Amino acid sequence: MAETELTKTVYLDAPRDTVWAFLTEKDKLAKWFHPAAADLAEGEDYALLETDDSGNTVKLCWGTVLKMDRPTNLVWSFTIKPLGGAMTTVTWTLEDSHGGTRLTLRHEGIGMAAGEAPLGLLTALDAGWDAHFADLRKATSA
C-alpha cells in the first residue's frame, strides 16, 4: 500500500562510505539514531537500545539485516513496541550527489503492521525519521 509507505530523502555533506558507517556501525548509530547492541551484519538480527526509567537497557527497535550492498543499499526488517512485533521493511539507498551523499529511506509495510488505523503511527514515524535525519546531518558533518 503506497499510502502507508514513508519515503524521505536527505542530502548529507559526507561521502557514501561515511554515511554507510553511520548506518551500520554501533558507535555511529548511537550518535544519531539509537545505540546498537553490535555492528549490523547481513543476515543477522539487530537491536537498537534505550535505557528505561529504572536504568535497565531495553530494545527500542529491532529486526534482521536483510541486505547489505556497501555503500549503496541497506535493507532491514524493523519493528517497535507499538507494532506488537509486526515487521515492516526499511530500505536505505545511498547515491553520490554533488560531492556528498543523497540518502533515501523507504519505510514500507506500516499500514499492514498498524492495522485499521495507521495514521497515528504514520505521523509518529514520519516525525521520528525527520528528527533522526536532522541528527544524522549533524553527526556526518562533524
51 is written with which cell numbers? 535505557
Report whether pLDDT(41) > 90: yes
| Mean of all residue pLDDT scores within the chain | 92
Print the SS3 string covering 120-142: HHHHHHHHHHHHHHHHHHHHHHC
- Higher pLDDT: 134 or 51? It is 134
Ramachandran region of residue 32, left (φ > 0), alpha (ψ -120 to 50) or beta? alpha
Check if the beta carbon of residue 109 is closer than 8 Å to that of residue 118: no
Read off the pLDDT of each residue in 51-77 and give the average, rounded to a whole number. Answer: 94
Report whether pLDDT(122) > 50: yes
- In this prediction, residue 96 has a pLDDT band, given cuts at 50, 70 and 90, of very high
Do strands 88-97 and 45-51 pair parallel, antiparallel, or not at all (unpaired)?
unpaired
Please name each of the domains of the chain with its CATH number. Answer: 2-141 (3.30.530.20)
Read off the pLDDT of each residue in 123-138 and give the average, rounded to a whole number. Answer: 94
- The span from the CA of 69 to the CA of 49, in Å, is 24
